[in-house]
A = this chain, B = another copy of it.
Amino acid sequence: MANGAQALLTTLVDCGVQVCFANPGTSEMHFVAALDAVPQMHGVLCLFEGVATGAADGYARIAGKPAATLLHLGPGLSNGLANLHNARRAHSPVVNIIGDHAGYHKKYDAPLESEVESLTAWTHGWTRRTTGGDEVGRDAAEAVAASLTGPGGVANLILPADISWGDGATAAAPHTPGSPSRPDPAVVAEIATVLGSGDPVCLLLGGPATGAPGLAAADRIAAATGARTLVETFPARLTRGAGVPAIERLGYLAEQAGAQLDGIKHLIVAGTRPPVTFFAYPDRPSDLVPDGAVVHHLAGLDTDVVAALQQLADAVAPDTAARGAPPAVPDLPDGALDAHNWGQVIGALLPAHAIISDESNTSGLLLAGATAGSPQHDVLALTGGAIGQGLPVAVGAAIAAPKRPVIALQADGSAAYTISALWTMAREGLNITVVLLNNNAYAILRMELARVGAGAGGPKAAQLLDLARPEMDFASIAQGFGVPATVAVTCEELAEQFAAAVAAPGPHLIDARIPTAF
């Protein structure tokens, strides 16, 4: 006879959930004990909930299915929220198991008591508080299906301790997730007419359209019609490199985006929304669609966007093939590292089938060009802007694809948020190479201080954007968490260390000293 925790775990496994990123507490002890009764579930210990939720996001982006998390009551969930925000923006399926006090205990308002549902509401996710052993299996199956419905999203299952430990619980069979709508032929035909109009057109891709099939369809359209193509600024998973159509990302800075969209009369959006600025800036528009341009929605995230692109390509480019990027890597640079040449080292040495978890922020502004002709790879971007995503996402990606090399390109300021992800990399022996872009500053904020019109800033403002006093020694920190680490000051050092790290099993961190451009 199963207790609630065992029925829950059995159901999750039967629904295809194989990994649980966990940071448990007392109220989750029966769930932890049940891991020995349901050995198909791989429990991965994280030392902070933001690592667990970010890892689940990274896992989902690569595996295409959810991992579970195990979180300790409201405060545990609260620590995981920022990376759930990023997961929501990535449309990643994630199933949170949120332990809570036994139902009868909540009225006592014990120290860890809080309104869990106030936090789950913030995730925009499916949420249910399971209320009995005869329901926990069904609720878990529905949670998994909910996470996979539509473009994918966060599902929250609140598990009271007395349901977890109560006997007589029953597992449930998988539920079928909702399917995306099929493309509307009338919309496809209308947009085909726009593409044939001769007006300047741009096709903006996002969501599932940034995989190889969507990019190929978009490039056929571009090749046949002359339309520009762009990928949304922060894609959840962008396939690129040699053999894949090279489609530029929309710039983060409004100045860049303005140039990319300048002169268009029609903007076709597929799997994303019309572009807006990341932040508001005084006296500048938030809406990046050029004045007078008409927006056309080919397919939203509730529709099969790749099929819509393929139908559109078949309509306007029936005999046109997609153009894969030619294989071409930069020469290895030499001399001191700077904001430009470190990316050339990565481009020159990127291994085949790599996954890049990209939280390089300002240091990565020139990365895309350096890796455009490297072997095919996937880039996982910072979808929601909540920093501290990069290392956890790398953990999840590496667990989803243990045979692929994972490269975490990680800005220093952001790294400090979820630095204990390094420990999980070491514990699990994950094939992750962290290139820690150590410029001793919140460089992006130095840039933004002026861009928002706050002026150059005085000495007190400068101090709040400066990470140099004291300088962080990330190699020392990594070693403290059990990850071998080295320091690179020159291109030669970075190249040698990167090649060795990629070739060796397990994680390695390179503390790359990159002067900031700001």
Contact = CB atoms under 8 A, between A and B. Distances in A.
A78 B75 contact: no
Given A33-B454, A277-B110, A85 B75 contact: yes
Contacts of A460: 35-36, 39, 43
A480 B472 contact: yes
B112 A278 contact: yes
Interface stretch (A125-133, A328-336, A380-388): A380-388
Interface in A400-441: 413, 416-417, 419-420, 423, 426-427
Given A43-B464, A48-B417, A111-B383, A449 B480 contact: no
18 contacts: A29-B445, A30-B452, A33-B449, A47-B413, A48-B388, A48-B417, A89-B111, A101-B280, A109-B273, A109-B276, A111-B384, A112-B385, A161-B452, A165-B453, A417-B420, A426-B470, A427-B470, A476-B477
A518 interface: no
Nearest to A273: B109
Contacts of A115: 121-122
A286 B118 CA distance: 24
A490 interface: no
Contacts of A426: 470
Count the copies.
2
A276 B481 contact: no
A112 B287 CA distance: 15
Interface stretch (A18-26, A215-223, A302-310): A18-26
A66 interface: no
A473 B478 CA distance: 10
A32 B279 contact: no
Contact of A105 (B122, B280, B449, B470): B280
Given A39-B460, A50-B79, A282 B417 contact: no
A486 to B, nearest CB: 14
B477 A482 contact: no
B449 A111 contact: no
Nearest to A105: B280
A75 B81 CA distance: 7
A471 B454 CA distance: 46
A134 interface: no
A292 interface: no
Nearest to A166: B282
**For A36, A161, A287, which residue has the most chain B Cβ atoms within 10 angstroms?**
A36
The 7 A-B pairs of least Cβ separation, nearest first, read A470-B482, A36-B458, A477-B480, A476-B480, A102-B280, A75-B386, A105-B280
A464 to B, nearest CB: 5
A75 to B, nearest CB: 4
A114 B464 CA distance: 25
A235 B60 CA distance: 42
Contact of A161 (B37, B108, B280): B280
Interface in A38-81: 39, 43, 45, 47-48, 50, 74-76, 78-79, 81
A129 to B, nearest CB: 15
Interface string A443-454: 011001101111
A32 B78 contact: no
A122 B111 contact: no
A358 interface: no
Given A36-B457, A47-B416, A277-B110, A78 B85 contact: yes
Nearest to A162: B280
A105 to B, nearest CB: 4
A162 to B, nearest CB: 7
A417 to B, nearest CB: 5
A491 to B, nearest CB: 24
Contact of A118 (B47, B121, B280, B388): B121
A442 to B, nearest CB: 8
Contacts of A45: 463-464, 466
A315 interface: no
A82 interface: yes
Contacts of A282: 162, 165
B417 A79 contact: yes
A498 interface: no
B108 A276 contact: yes
Interface string A269-293: 0000100111110100011000000
